[in-house]
Amino acid sequence: MEKVAIFTDSKNYEVFIGEDILDSLHMRLNKYSKVLLVTDETVNRLHLNTIIDSIPERIDYEIYTTPSGEKAKTFKVYEDCISFALKVGLDRKSVILAFGGGAIGDLAGFVAATYMRGIAFIQIPTTILAHDSAVGGKVGINHPLGKNMVGAFYQPDIVIYNTNYLNTLPVRQIKSGFAEVVKHALIADVNFLNELMNHVQSIEEVISDKLPTYLKRGIEVKAKIVGLDERESGVRAYLNFGHTLGHALEAHAGFGNLTHGEGVMCGMVYALLLSKKLVGLEFDLDSFINWIERLGYQWKIPSSTQFDTIYELMKRDKKSVANKPVFVLLKSIGEPVLTAVDVPVLRETFYMMS
């Protein structure tokens, strides 16, 4: 079992990573009065019994099941979950278990952050993507005009990353999650990036005995940045590399039609092109693109997608200043920088990818 310590101004906690580690959950639940397990339809069907078996017999629990994916992150589902928690009698000594991928972690964490002005929650990720979203305390829901526009910074009590769950992921979700692993390498460590590019030659090779090491390394990258800037007033924005365009593409496609990782991978290629133009990045982008194509990523923007439409969505990005998008670019691999980019350059680069 691997372990990563997370240190923030509001709370310190640990991330446990490994196979068959749900005993860690059983031991920690005894201090809570009641458990609300929040999961989605897919995880409920595949893995629900493993969590129920880990809840101590003396503790009452309730289960709230949402639609799968981004459909869980709506105002309606959020309100229904709050109402359910009230009806079943959750109190301030209760705990919410976020059992699923990134969308469930975001929703359940936001419910925990706002229910009775804040109760405990525990992240139990079931996807590769959630190695990023489960750590760092960003929780929230989507607004029709933008992704994650309603939310809070609220840290979990613990993250228990039982990697057995990753064996049931469909290929599309493996790709979605691995994009965030690649992001962590690009913003932090050229050696990590080279290792990924040298050792992962097909998407099927992502699920291997090396995956826990890759996940731990990604979490360590995030932990270091979150420890410096919990509430994204500065360097934490670096974790949004590729997300300015990525989130806009997700919103434009309709949340759930384009996976987060698909949008982010496209956004990272866009940011790498901008980095070469604007901040002097020296990087073999052709080799990188050939690699992600071998893994099955589509990085080109559909020719029917109009820049002006996407630009309006990018302006709503949380890094924007005075209604102008600010991008995370790379001066070199592992050296991110926040940069305002003029519209003509954004437009030209956008159509280079279509």
Instruction: Indicate if 11 belongs to the active site.
Output: no
Q: Is 199 a catalytic residue?
A: no
Our answer to whether residue 277 is catalytic in this structure is: no
Q: Which residue among 76, 117, 167, 198 is the active-site one?
A: 117
Cα dihedral 192/259/141/337 (nearest 10): 40
Helices 343-352 and 307-314: crossing angle in degrees, nearest 10, is 120
Among the options 34, 183, 184, 222, which is catalytic?
222
In the set 34, 175, 243, 252, the catalytic residue is: 243
Q: Which two tokens stand for residue 199?
A: 């050792």
Residue with tokens 């001066």: 331
State yes or no: is 92 an active-site residue.
no
**How far is Cα 311 from Cα 197, in angstroms, rounded to an integer?**
31
Catalytic residue check, 28: no
Q: Which is the catalytic residue, given 70, 180, 230, 250?
A: 180
- Residue 236 annotated to the active site: yes
Residue 247 falls in the annotated catalytic set: yes
Closest CA to 208 of 200, 220, 217: 200
90, amino acid identity: L
* 172: annotated active-site residue: no
CA 45 and chain centroid, separation? 22
Q: Which of 73, 175, 184, 236 is catalytic?
A: 236
- Which residue spans within 71-164 are E strands per DSSP? 95-100, 120-125, 138-143, 146-153, 159-162
Does 222 qualify as catalytic in the annotation?
yes
Q: Which of 247, 250, 252, 262 is catalytic?
A: 247
Q: Which of 220, 230, 232, 250 is catalytic?
A: 232
The answer to whether residue 47 is catalytic is: no
Per annotation, catalytic residue among 131, 240, 250, 252: 240
Residues annotated as catalytic are: 117, 138, 180, 222, 232, 236, 240, 243, 247, 260
